Chain A
Amino acid sequence: MLEDVSFSAGREFVLVAGPNGAGKTTLFLAILGQVPHRGEICVEELCGEERAAKVGYVPQHVRIEAEATVWEYVYLPARFRKIKAAERAAEEALKAVELYALRDKPVTTLSGGQRQRAAIARALATGGDVLLLDEPMANVDPQGRVELMTLLRELKKDRTILMTSHELTFPSDLADKVLLLNKRVVAYGPPDAVFREEVLMKIYRYVRIAKTPAGFICVTEDYGAHPH
């Protein structure tokens, strides 16, 4: 259950952070109209159920449990949503994530990182104005993460991206804002304003913050602070 959640985002990248069970996925499902909610959720002035058509979604667990080609995986949902020029949308989305060359391959043969990119392409093809990415970095190896972050840097230029993460280490130039959730909004603002110890200590008791020379904000476990 989420309460008192109120925020707005423009064409920017918002990192939705918070501990497990904070309501990050629930927030996304509410935006998609899949869980009941009170109040108003609008996407580009669409406040009814029709707003879901403007939203591309990458679920937390990208499970692929039956056969389909990469093309079908991306194109068919766009067709189901009756997106105009669904074929072109799917083609452009696959090109954007650099998977167009693999479009005839079974999606089950893709690596973890490629699957995440395919899922992002599918989200782009089905409603690319707003992207909701639910833990896209989970189950992706370091190489895949770097590729995904590079892709997201490109994508955020002309759309709104909300990405959840329970891990708080990320390149500081990627997120424009951070929405810190724990059943309600704990903080919302630029990363430097949110990732401060006095803010994080409201929900995390054993963490410390560092910024690497390469520009990564690292929020790591502070085992020394734990009373054992």
Chain B
Amino acid sequence: MLILIEALAAASAAAAFVHAYLYAPLLFWPLVSLVLSAAVLAALSPLAVSRRMTFLAHAQGHSILTAALAAAIPAAAVAQSLASPLFYLATLLFIIVLNLLVLFTERLGFRKDVATGVVMSFQLTATVVLLYVIRSLYATALDPLSLITGEYVLITSQDVLIQAPLLFASALFPLFYGVKYLYAAVDEAFAQAVGINPKLLDRLFVVAMSLAVAASVYALGSLIPAVLLVLPGAAASRYSHRLTEQMPLSVSLAVLSAAAAHFLYTILPWLWPSAALGLALLVLLVAAQPLARRCV
């Protein structure tokens, strides 16, 4: 099953790139950005699913919007666009702080879900304040809606160059610690006995998630990265119960969905690519359901 899905993903991605290059050149770099972001976020997805961090992963939607709004203000103040390195770095800084706040709140004695909820509540409050500040001071320079939906069609090779190092840094965690982290989700006590430090890996995972989300926000907006942190991993667990297949399956499903989203967008231009991506992932998740029943 894994090889089949990997081959299908590779073929469909190749087809989408060729199509974009030859017939829709303006969508070539957006597609590169979409595939890269989808692949890295999806590599993190089984880790969030197995480690029961989907709630935290979904909270990324709130965190990234707050972080991006907070980052947009200094970017606008120095007359830089949302595609500037300053915006990306400020977003990254704010999202890491917000994510680490969840772990800090946990240490105050709150349960993981409550800690996430408490920080999310703070973020929502801050979001309203930031939206008001932007509307009052930078109404002509900034469009907050673009931070929600993303500026997919405006993505250039320059944006991909800014994104790539952040995505690469994020991908290091699943590459080097992914299997160990997944095993810690299977049996934390035993993982510790063989020298794995799950708490340290939790922190590194949160940083990796922050990097990937911050890198994707300009292209995909603040909502779809959260979807990519949950759905590919959830779907992968339906297609296979092998721990070592979760990450490659998740990445393949996300790349397949990104290619499908590209074609859907060219056929139905009113369907925004990030929304098409979410839709394709949902279809793949539902399609796996009969298979999951057979496995059990």
Please tell me if the beta carbons of A67 and B183 are within 8 angstroms of each other in the complex. Answer: no
B242: interface (CB < 8 Å): yes
Bitwise, A119-144 to B at CB < 8 A (1) or not (0) is 10010001000000000000000000
**Contact A66–B243 (Cβ < 8 Å):** yes
- Give Cα A72 to B185, complex, Å: 13
Chain A contacts of B237 at CB under 8 A?
67
Encode contact with B along A56-98: 1 for CB under 8 Å, 0 otherwise: 0101111111111100110011001100000000000000000
Is A99 part of the contact surface with B, judged by Cβ < 8 Å?
no
Q: Give the distance in Å from the alpha carbon of A108 to the alpha carbon of B182 in the complex.
A: 15
Assess the B183–A68 pair: CB atoms within 8 A: yes
Q: Are A77 and B190 in contact, CB atoms less than 8 angstroms apart? A: yes
Q: Contact between A65 and B193 (Cβ–Cβ < 8 Å)?
A: no
Contact A68 B179 (CB under 8 A): no
For window 177-225 of chain B, which residues contact chain A by CB distance below 8 Å? 179-180, 182-183, 185-196
Q: Does B295 contact A (CB under 8 A)?
A: yes
The one of B180, B186, B196 in contact with A64, judged by C-beta atoms closer than 8 angstroms, is B186
Contact between chains at A69 and B243 (CB < 8 Å): yes
- When chains A and B are docked, how far (Å) is the Cα of A66 from the Cα of B194? 18
Closest to B244 in A: A72
Contact A66 B242 (CB under 8 A): no
A35 CB → nearest B CB, Å: 11
Task: Say how far B253's CB is from chain A's closest CB, in angstroms.
Answer: 16
Query: Smallest CB–CB gap between B183 and chain A, Å?
Result: 5
Our count of residue pairs bridging A and B at CB distance below 8 angstroms stands at 74
Task: Give the chain A neighbours of B246 by CB distance below 8 A.
Answer: 67
A70 to nearest B CB, angstroms? Answer: 10
CB-defined contacts of B186 to chain A, threshold 8 Å = 64-68, 73, 107
Which of A73, A80, A109, A122 touches B195 (beta carbons < 8 Å)? Answer: A80
Do A57 and B185 touch (CB < 8 A)? Answer: no
- B50 part of interface (Cβ distance < 8 Å): yes
A57–B190 CB distance below 8 A = yes
Q: A81-B195, A106-B295 are in contact. Are A63 and B189 (CB under 8 A)?
A: yes
A34-B192 contact in complex given A67-B241, A69-B241, C-beta closer than 8 Å:
yes
Residue B22 at the chain A interface, CB threshold 8 Å = no
A126 to B183, CA, bound (A): 14
Alpha-carbon distance A76/B246, docked complex (angstroms) = 14
Could you tell me if A68 and B241 are in contact, using CB atoms closer than 8 angstroms?
Answer: yes
| A77: chain B residues within 8 A (beta carbon) | 183, 190-191, 194
Question: Is B296 an interface residue, CB under 8 A from the partner?
Answer: yes
Query: Which residues of A23-67 are within 8 A (CB) of B?
Result: 32, 34, 52, 57, 59-67
- Using Cβ atoms and an 8 Å threshold, which residues of chain B touch A76? 179, 183, 243-244
A195 to B241, CA, bound (A): 46
Contact A68 B194 (CB under 8 A): no
Q: Which residues of chain B (239-266) have a CB below 8 Å from chain A?
A: 241-244, 246
A190 CB to nearest B CB, Å: 30
Known: A59-B189, A77-B190. A68 touches B195 (CB 8 A): no
Q: Known interface pairs A72-B244, A73-B186, A109-B296. Does A67 touch B50 (Cβ–Cβ under 8 Å)? A: yes
In the complex, what residues of B have CB within 8 A of residue A64's CB? 186-187
The distance in angstroms between the C-alpha atoms of A64 and B188, with both chains bound, is 9
Q: List 8 A-B contacts (CB under 8 A).
A: A52-B195, A59-B193, A63-B189, A65-B187, A66-B51, A72-B244, A77-B194, A126-B194
Not counting A61-B189, A62-B187, A109-B296, a sample of 18 additional A-B residue pairs whose C-beta atoms are within 8 angstroms of each other reads: A32-B193, A59-B189, A63-B187, A63-B188, A64-B186, A64-B187, A65-B185, A66-B50, A67-B50, A67-B246, A68-B182, A68-B186, A72-B243, A76-B179, A76-B183, A77-B194, A80-B183, A108-B241
A-B pairs with lowest CB-CB distance, top 9? A68-B243, A66-B50, A66-B185, A106-B241, A59-B189, A67-B241, A77-B194, A57-B193, A66-B186
